[in-house]
Amino acid sequence: MNYKKGLLVGVSTLLLASCSSQPVQTNKQAMSCAEHMQFAQKANDFASRNFTKAYANDVKGAEAQLFLIQEKGPGSFSVNYNAAEQDYADNFHAANAAGCDTSGYPLSPIDEFKQRLDQLKAAHP
């Protein structure tokens, strides 16, 4: 009886170990080209929406925030933008590796922030 329990535990452990040692494909690598594009669009939408909410008419505040983003400051806004930028870059590289056409991708989150800041400056000289 103890022999059967020991054998069952041993076989179960071996099966679990063999399953966990197989390479795991990351989500970005398993995505279709359309999904990569959708991911890029969501990252751009995040940047656009958050810029508009926080800096609709605040050139100086947006300039200060851009500095913090570029310097990878510890604030949540900066951390979130830099995380979104990294996710965008990872997605972009995975899409290129998969042979997807990335020429029509929207701007990355930080580039979107910069573009929105330039538009804000032009509107409020």
Q: Is the pLDDT of residue 125 over 90?
A: no
Radius of gyration of the chain (CA): 23
Which residues, 6 or more positions from 57, have their beta carbon under 8 angstroms from its beta carbon? 120, 124
Confidence of residue 30 (pLDDT cuts 50, 70, 90): confident
Top pLDDT among 50 and 29 is at 50
How much is the pTM?
0.75
Confirm if 94 and 31 have CB atoms less than 8 A apart: yes
Confidence of residue 76 (pLDDT cuts 50, 70, 90): very high
